[in-house]
Amino acid sequence: MALATDSPPADPPPRLLRWTGRLSLARRILLVNLLPIALLAGSLFYLDAIRNRLLAERVAQAVSENRLIAAMLQASPKAMRTEQIDRLGQLAGMRLRLFDGHKLISDSWKNRKPSFALTNPDQEPWDKALAASLDDAIDALVSAPPVPRFKAFSGPDGPPATLHLTDDRTHIISARTSLGPETSEILVIDRNVRDVRRLVRAERARLGLIIGMSILSSILLSFFLARTIARPLGALAMAAERVRLGRAREIVIPRFDRQDEIGALANALAEMTENLRDRIDATEAFAADVAHELRNPLASLSSALEAMQSVDDPELKAQLMAIATEDVRRLDRLITDIAEASRLEPQLTRTRFDRIDIGRLIETLLKERDARGANRAVRIAFARPQRGSAAIMGDAGRVSRAIENLIDNAVSFSPPKGVVQISATRSGDTVRVIVEDEGPGIAASQREAIFERFHSDRPDMASFGKHSGLGLSIARTIVSAHEGKIEVRDRPQKQTGALFIMTFPAASSAR
């Protein structure tokens, strides 16, 4: 027990989110592990923005290429334009058409095979079809602006550049430009942009693989954490519930062979349960002892009162009244000691310890005993230590009670005109209080039993019945609460009597 503390105020209960009480710990672990992956999955939608930027760059590139080719054709003889258009269309992988007004003059696909071909989506493999469906789903989720569907290659009328989406999810970019202000000739180029789709789908597949592996790893990790955290806590909670219900006499709290917080919690719960069981056993034994100790004086009192009703002799009636009065006093003393013993430990855990001068405390105690005649015909010899030399940290009232219980015990065993010797000394880091009497002494086999509750082993001279049998038990409880110990020995030099020694940790020197 700590020497100088009040019990600290209890910490306020943690404030929990309402939704946390509806989810098990295992599910919360899974959600926490999946949340970063969900954020990573959001990057799939970011690919849509990348695709739009790439398409915008391709449109700008097509417009620049169209202007460059138009300038080159304008500088070339008209007889060579068809050949140049055919050759550039094959080299650039696009379709070039030259119009004069609305009349088609030249087409790179007319004399040579087409430089690109659109794929029929019905003939594509299943993975391409799945990718196309994923494209549509993501476009719908991110609310991508609609792109006009490609139906046929447009003519010379229209804006400088147009973008269309084909059935195979590739894009057709068409660019138009005039060959000059003094001519009605218009150059139209059509390019099938397939690399954008391949790039976006490749990145999406790579990212999807990463996300899939992350999800699998998170689920496995969540199961591992649930197995190592949630399941042991659940087992401890069930065991604690069984302890609360108290339906079984022996409830085993699982102990886990682990060195973390859960292992410490399991050990603490197991030890707490064992201590609780010991306290319950002690309480049950204490209750049984109380019932037994109360039964004797009650039986004696009942017998005396019943006899008084049928006795007419005044002298005998006075004797019975004296017996009844003594039984009432014994009951009062017994109940007082029982109440003191039952609340002693809880009170000591909340008591603030102060500096106590043991010599001055014993001196005051002996003066009070002399004033009320508690020592009877026994003389008390006290070897008082130097003032302030024997000091401890403790509760003065409780320490005084422990010492007085030893003195009462010594006086009760001492013969008339006997001497009880008391001394208090400091030796190193300890303070010793010694109480000696001239009684019959205590057998070695009984030196531990005398500190048990309601133990009473007294000869006729020790006034049997005037003591509750709790004095030494209370004294040991008080001394133990002050991190001390109490023991009994034989007196030196083969003197008769008993020698009790109380040892306390010495207080630090006063500043």
pLDDT at 6 over 70: no
Confidence bin at 292 (pLDDT 50/70/90) = low
At 283, the pLDDT band (50, 70, 90 cuts) reads confident
Range of lowest pLDDT (19-28, 209-218, 226-235, 403-412): 19-28
CATH number assigned to the domain with residue range 353-511, chosen from the 4 options 3.30.499.10, 3.40.640.10, 3.30.60.50, 3.30.565.10: 3.30.565.10
Q: pTM (2 decimals)? A: 0.48
Question: How much is the pLDDT for 175?
Answer: 93
CA count, 13 A, side-chain hemisphere, 226: 16
Q: How confident is the model at residue 374 (pLDDT cuts 50, 70, 90)?
A: confident
Task: With a cut of 90, say whether residue 313 has pLDDT above it.
Answer: no
Q: DSSP labels for 490-503?
A: EPGGG-SSEEEEEE
Residue 172's pLDDT band, with cuts at 50, 70 and 90, is: very high
Q: Between 149 and 453, name the one with better pLDDT.
A: 149
CATH fold of 41-204: Beta-Lactamase (3.30.450)
Q: What is the mean pLDDT of the chain?
A: 80
What confidence tier does 460 reach under pLDDT thresholds 50, 70, 90? very low
**Confidence class for position 17, pLDDT limits 50, 70, 90:** very low
Dump the DSSP string for 350-364: TPPPEEEEHHHHHHH
Sign of CA dihedral 29, 32, 33, 35: positive
Identical fold, 41-204 and 353-511: no
What amino acid is encoded at 128 in this protein? Answer: K
- Summarize pLDDT for 249-271 with one digit per residue, the tens: 667 777 777 777 777 887 888 78
pLDDT tens digits for range 200-252? 878 877 877 887 888 888 888 878 777 777 788 778 888 887 777 776 666 77
- Interatomic CA distance for residues 255 and 276, integer angstroms: 17
DSSP string, 9-63: PPPPPPP--GGGGGS-HHHHHHHHHHHHHHHHHTHHHHHHHHHHHHHHHHHHHHH
Q: What is the per-residue pLDDT across 64-86, written as a single tens digit (0 to 9) for each?
A: 998 999 888 888 888 888 888 88
Bigger pLDDT: 172 vs 144: 172
H/E element holding 339? helix 314-349
Task: Give the pLDDT band of residue 186 (cuts 50, 70, 90).
Answer: very high
Q: What is the pLDDT of residue 461?
A: 43
Can you tell me the mean pLDDT for 14-32? 61
Strand pairing category for 161-165 and 103-107: unpaired
Cα–Cα distance measured from residue 506 to residue 177, given in angstroms and rounded to the nearest whole number:
105
Every domain of the chain and the residues it spans: 41-204, 253-350, 353-511
Lowest mean pLDDT among 70-74, 92-96, 333-337, 476-480: 333-337
Q: What are 333's two structure tokens?
A: 């003393």
Residue with more model confidence, 11 or 234: 234
CA distance 410 to 400: 15
What was the pLDDT predicted at 41? 67
Fold of domain 253-350: Helix Hairpins (1.10.287)
Span 102-141, pLDDT tens digits = 899 999 998 888 888 888 877 778 777 777 787 777 777 7
Q: How many CA atoms lie within 13 A of 492 on its CB side?
A: 3
Query: Given pLDDT bands bounded at 50, 70 and 90, which one contains residue 7?
Result: very low
